[in-house]
Amino acid sequence: MLHCVINSCMSHLDLTILVIDENAVRAAIIEGGLHEAGHTRVTVVHEVNGIARIVETLSPDVIIIDIENPNRDMMEHLFQLTRSVSRPIAMFVDRSDSASIEAAVDAGVSAYVVDGLRKERVKPILDMAVSRFNAFSRLQRELADARSALEERKVIERAKGILMKLRGISEEEAFNLMRQTAMNEKKKLADIAQSVVTAAAMLS
């Protein structure tokens, strides 16, 4: 279901939401805000310990964390959790400092709200967390694609050089040879190039 969130292939109202809050009154505020916004698949957990197992079992699309009186140990425990799950995360805290905010961003928290827990704010903050998560995920994919394309170009250039040297052909002829082979074998050009580079390394 997480992939659906990233790819916007599901309605926000279809989200499975996990609320982590040790304070039952504050949790009720969040749950009420979610229900008023039309969210029905909401699970509330009041115990932080063992939360990783609950996340794994429930596989929520979005996680909302509320901490009335944050301390360093609890924050670090939750930041370890947020680093390990690739999901939109919104965090409400009553007080914070610049170091905690920076740590939250580094841990992958999509929305970090200080002293702002009100029922009417829950929905817009949830939407913001999902939107930011999607935008960041898109940037990560684009970066990964760019790196992959760069590595493929490097391999193709190396393979062209090997073929030019071994066969005494031009750069264009070497490229066309690999492209034709890729078409014949229904493979990517980069895969053929990698085969050439690997074979040359074995024979050298």
HEC assignment per residue over 8-37? CCCCHHHCCEEEEECCHHHHHHHHHHHHHC
Distance of CA 17 to the CA centre of its chain: 17
Residue 6: pLDDT above 70?
A: no
Q: Flag the least confident range among 65-74, 125-134, 136-145, 172-181.
A: 65-74
The set of residues, in sequence order, having a beta carbon less than 8 Å from that of 169 and lying 6+ positions away, is 163, 177
pTM: 0.67
Long-range contacts formed by 157-165: CB under 8 A, 24+ apart: 158/193, 158/197, 159/192, 159/193, 159/194, 159/196, 159/197, 160/193, 162/196, 162/197, 162/200, 163/196
Q: What is the pLDDT of residue 13?
A: 59
Q: Name the nearest CA neighbour of 96 among 115, 77, 124.
A: 115
- Domains of the chain from N-terminus onward: 2-141 (3.40.50.2300), 146-203 (1.10.10.10)
The residues with which 90 forms a beta bridge, in sequence order, are: 64, 111
12: pLDDT confidence band, cut at 50, 70 and 90? low
CB atoms within 10 A of CB 53: 9
With a cut of 80, say whether residue 171 has pLDDT above it: yes
Residue 15 near residue 5, CB atoms below 8 Å: yes
The alpha-carbon radius of gyration of the chain (Å, integer) is 25
Instruction: Work out the burial of residue 94: count CB atoms within 10 Å of its CB; fewer than 13 is exposed, 13-18 middle, 19 or more buried.
Output: middle
- In sequence order, what are the residues at sequence separation of 6 or more whose Cβ sits closer than 8 angstroms to the Cβ of residue 23? 46, 66, 68
CA distance 48 to 82: 13
Pairwise pLDDT comparison (157 vs 57), residue with the higher score: 157
CA distance 51 to 91: 15
Distances (CA, A) of 117 to 5, 122, 126: 24, 8, 12
pLDDT at 116 over 60: yes
| pLDDT tops 50 at residue 4 | no
